[in-house]
């Protein structure tokens, strides 16, 4: 588990570079230990003493400053308190200057970590928090969690939900609360609050009550007592995250109560301590038989708008389905006018090649913020991609997604390109190579590769608005013909593409399921009309004839083929770029990434082959020649 950088020389390069296992993430500062730092003893001081390359730095407290904000003038950092100074110190080490304040107060990672140490949709090893063999936080784990805290603090993340939204009731038992208390103590100096996902039926499983009905007085009392117990141990505990009446999880609906009734009961329990409830809108299935899955969140929540307590926040995925490589934005953001909302982004690449594909996700998130303006949200959550793997995230480039999430949570107006440039410089930049004139070309190519990688993934997996044609359960690889009669239809790929001899795509216009009517204008009309619907969402909103003429004059079927080809060609190009970069990257990270890129190419080719064979089987030989 210990993350130690190996130091070996590489023959691949005339200049000897340090081999790396990726454990230092983007925090690869040289330990110069030369600055004299004035100001309070704190993390900022320690970091600057160790790593600041200037001779002097000053830390100044100004209590009139806003929470978490900092100002950097020369080598003087001013902030309200030590946390602000810490953010300022990391910014100074990144080379920033001037004033900066976070856009949102809530910048939270969601770990889908189970108490048995496994991680749902985790692709980088086991949980860094939970180990069923050890019911205590030992020294090794403490050190690791401290590194985790430092990495998060360096990019401004200030909250973490420690367990899976498919929550075990055991999470709220006394021994686990004790562990949470210990974790909270490690995270606190870095300005990070802990939150827990809770199972709505915990009063039954743990408290032996006969019901979890939110209007039952014993249930209310149970949650109040539980909140008190937690806050006695962890006075700055953040609150609860809840997945209710979704994918088999219990919830207020089990007692014919509304989401608002369920959420408010929990909200009242944490309110005296300043806690919040993040209630997820990811629901489909049970209550909406036959309704288009992407409409169900709005249908289920819209009547609750305005009925939630003021410490409840509705947390919704960026798209209406489930973290696909491309989705239109989720219309729930258009429909809840009186309820504070948070967006949930997925950093772990469940549907984007997991930790085997190089896919930089910030362009996707930037696209989302183009539709759902950051000012409509009061916070942001990201499903973490972190595990016990030495490089934390499985793929060296998946670290960029953790980094980008933090940077966007601090400032969603930053461009994905700026963030990628920053990350590349911090993660792969080697100061000794700066003089080499080829380096700027290489850097440019690496940046380009990252920036093209998400669109490439869309193209080789699901272009033109296709969605959810993944293999069952594990969601890796193509299965467009997927249909299992005993499964809910919403789990079957054929439900989503509806290919037939006439065409392909899901008619969600007013002549179909009318999902377009859940959008505000101008998107409602734009998406509803086949002739104005952006091609990137075409098959999401329309069932389109194979012979339909696309904007470039090709037929839909030809266009699909072009997109799949383009996606594969892009990955071939990424391999070339990576080959060119070889002399400038340490041996270990180069090799590990190269292996994954080869695998990615193989997988991209499989996607193309399987999907084109399958969809091609619907296209008559007459049509395909048109």
Active-site annotation, residues:
247, 322, 350
The residue (of 271 and 475) whose beta carbon lies closer to ligand GCV is 475
CB of 322 to ligand GCV, least distance (A): 5
Give how far Cα 215 sits from Cα of 71, 221, 261, 594, Å.
49, 10, 8, 57
> Encoding tokens for residue 398?
């998946």
Give me the least distance between CB of 590 and ligand GCV, in Å please: 32
Q: How far is the CB of 120 from ligand GCV (least distance, A)?
A: 5
Q: ∠298-346-373 over CA atoms, to 5°?
A: 60
Distance CA(423)–CA(560), nearest Å, equals 33
**Nearest-CA neighbor of 200 among 241, 275, 255, 250?**
250
Contacts of residue 549, Cβ cutoff 8 Å, sequence gap at least 6: 555
- Which residue lies nearer to ligand GCV by CB, 285 or 534? 285
> If you search the block for the tokens 């030495």, which residue do you land on?
390
Closer residue to ligand GCV, CB minimum distance, 84 or 325: 325
Rounded alpha-carbon distances, angstroms, from residue 397 to 355, 374, 403 = 9, 26, 10
* Residue nearer to ligand GCV on the CB measure, 114 or 453: 114
We find the least distance from the C-beta atom of residue 121 to ligand GCV, in angstroms, to be 5
The nearer residue to ligand GCV, 156 or 379, going by C-beta atoms, is: 379
| Minimum CB distance to ligand GCV smaller for 351 or for 402 | 351
User: Cα(365)–Cα(419) distance, rounded to whole angstroms?
Assistant: 12
Residue bearing tokens 């000794």: 432
Compute how many other C-beta atoms are within 10 angstroms of the C-beta atom of residue 133. 5
Residue 381 and residue 109 in contact, taking contact as beta carbons nearer than 8 Å: yes
> Each residue of 166-175: b (16+ CB within 10 Å) or e?
ebbbebbeee
Distance CA 593, CA 397 (A): 8
DSSP character for 520?
P
With left for phi above 0 and alpha for psi between -120 and 50, is residue 408 left, alpha or beta?
alpha
Q: What are the residues whose beta carbons fall under 8 Å from the beta carbon of 20, sequence distance 6 or more?
A: 5, 6, 586, 588, 589
Complex with ligand GCV: residue 114 or 202, whichever CB lies closer: 114
Closest separation in Å from C-beta 178 to ligand GCV: 25
Q: Rounded to the nearest whole angstrom, what is the least distance from the CB of residue 166 to ligand GCV in the complex?
A: 5
Tally of CB atoms within 10 A around 280: 23
Distance CA 100, CA 67 (A): 11
- In the complex, the smallest distance separating the C-beta of residue 523 from ligand GCV, rounded to whole angstroms, is 24
Smallest separation (angstroms) from ligand GCV to the CB of 136: 27
The footprint of ligand GCV (CB under 6 A) covers: 112, 120-121, 165-166, 243, 247, 282, 322
- Residue 356 CB-half CA count within 13 A: 14
**In terms of DSSP H, where are the helices of 131-258?**
139-155, 174-187, 202-205, 217-233
* Nearer CB in complex with ligand GCV: 103/351: 351
């Amino acid at each position: 588990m210990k993350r130690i950088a190996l130091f070996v020389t590489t023959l691949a390069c005339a200049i000897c570079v340090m081999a790396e296992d990726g454990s230092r993430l983007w925090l690869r500062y040289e330990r110069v230990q030369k600055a004299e730092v004035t100001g309070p003893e704190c993390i900022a001081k320690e970091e600057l003493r160790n790593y600041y390359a200037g001779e002097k730095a000053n830390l100044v407290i100004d209590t009139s400053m806003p929470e978490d904000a900092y100002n950097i003038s020369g080598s003087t950092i001013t902030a309200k308190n030590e946390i602000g100074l810490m953010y300022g110190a990391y910014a100074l080490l990144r080379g920033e200057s001037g004033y900066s304040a976070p856009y949102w107060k809530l910048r939270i990672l969601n770990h889908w970590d189970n108490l048995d140490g496994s991680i749902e949709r985790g692709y980088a090893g086991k949980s860094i928090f939970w180990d069923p063999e050890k019911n205590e936080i030992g020294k090794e784990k403490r050190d690791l969690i401290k590194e985790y805290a430092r990495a998060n603090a360096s990019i401004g993340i200030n909250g973490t939900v420690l367990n899976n939204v498919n929550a075990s009731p055991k999470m709220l038992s006394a021994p686990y609360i004790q562990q949470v208390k210990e974790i909270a103590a490690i995270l606190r100096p870095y300005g990070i609050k802990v939150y827990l996902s809770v199972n709505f039926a915990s009063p039954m499983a743990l408290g032996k009550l006969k019901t979890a009905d939110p209007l039952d007085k014993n249930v209310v009392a149970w949650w109040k007592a539980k909140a008190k117990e937690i806050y006695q141990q962890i006075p700055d505990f953040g609150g609860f995250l809840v997945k209710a009446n979704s994918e088999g999880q219990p919830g207020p609906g089990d007692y014919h109560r509304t989401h608002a009734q369920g959420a408010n009961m929990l909200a009242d329990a944490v309110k005296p301590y300043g806690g919040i409830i993040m209630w997820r809108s990811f629901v489909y299935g049970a209550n909406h038989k036959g309704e288009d899955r992407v409409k169900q969140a709005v249908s289920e929540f819209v009547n609750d708008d305005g009925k939630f307590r003021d410490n409840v926040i509705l947390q919704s995925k960026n798209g209406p389905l489930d973290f696909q490589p491309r989705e239109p934005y989720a219309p729930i953001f258009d429909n809840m006018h009186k309820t504070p909302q948070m967006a949930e982004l997925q950093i772990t690449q469940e549907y984007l090649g997991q930790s085997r594909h190089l896919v930089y996700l910030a362009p996707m998130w930037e696209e989302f913020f183009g539709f759902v303006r950051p000012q409509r949200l009061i916070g942001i959550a990201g499903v973490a991609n972190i595990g016990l793997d030495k490089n934390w995230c499985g793929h060296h480039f998946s670290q960029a997604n953790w980094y980008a999430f933090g940077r966007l949570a601090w400032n969603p107006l930053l461009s994905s390109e700026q963030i990628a440039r920053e990350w590349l410089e911090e993660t792969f930049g080697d100061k000794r190579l700066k003089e080499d004139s080829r380096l700027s070309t290489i850097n440019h190519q690496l940046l380009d590769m990252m920036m093209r990688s998400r669109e490439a993934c869309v193209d080789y997996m699901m272009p033109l608005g296709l969605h959810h044609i993944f293999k069952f359960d594990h969601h890796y690889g193509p299965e467009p013909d997927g249909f299992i009669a005993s499964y809910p239809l919403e789990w079957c790929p054929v439900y989503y593409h509806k290919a037939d001899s006439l065409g392909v795509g899901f008619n969600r216009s007013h002549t179909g399921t009318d999902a377009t009517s859940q959008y505000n204008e101008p998107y409602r009309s734009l998406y509803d009309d086949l002739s104005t619907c952006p091609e990137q969402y075409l098959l999401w909103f329309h069932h389109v004839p194979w012979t339909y003429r696309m904007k470039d004059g090709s037929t839909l079927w030809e266009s699909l083929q072009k997109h799949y080809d383009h996606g594969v060609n892009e990955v071939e190009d990424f391999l070339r770029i990576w080959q060119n970069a070889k002399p400038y990257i340490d041996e270990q990270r180069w090799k590990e990434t190269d292996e994954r890129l080869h695998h990615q190419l193989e997988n991209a080719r499989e996607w193309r082959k399987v999907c084109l064979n399958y969809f091609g089987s619907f296209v008559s030989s007459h049509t395909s020649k048109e």
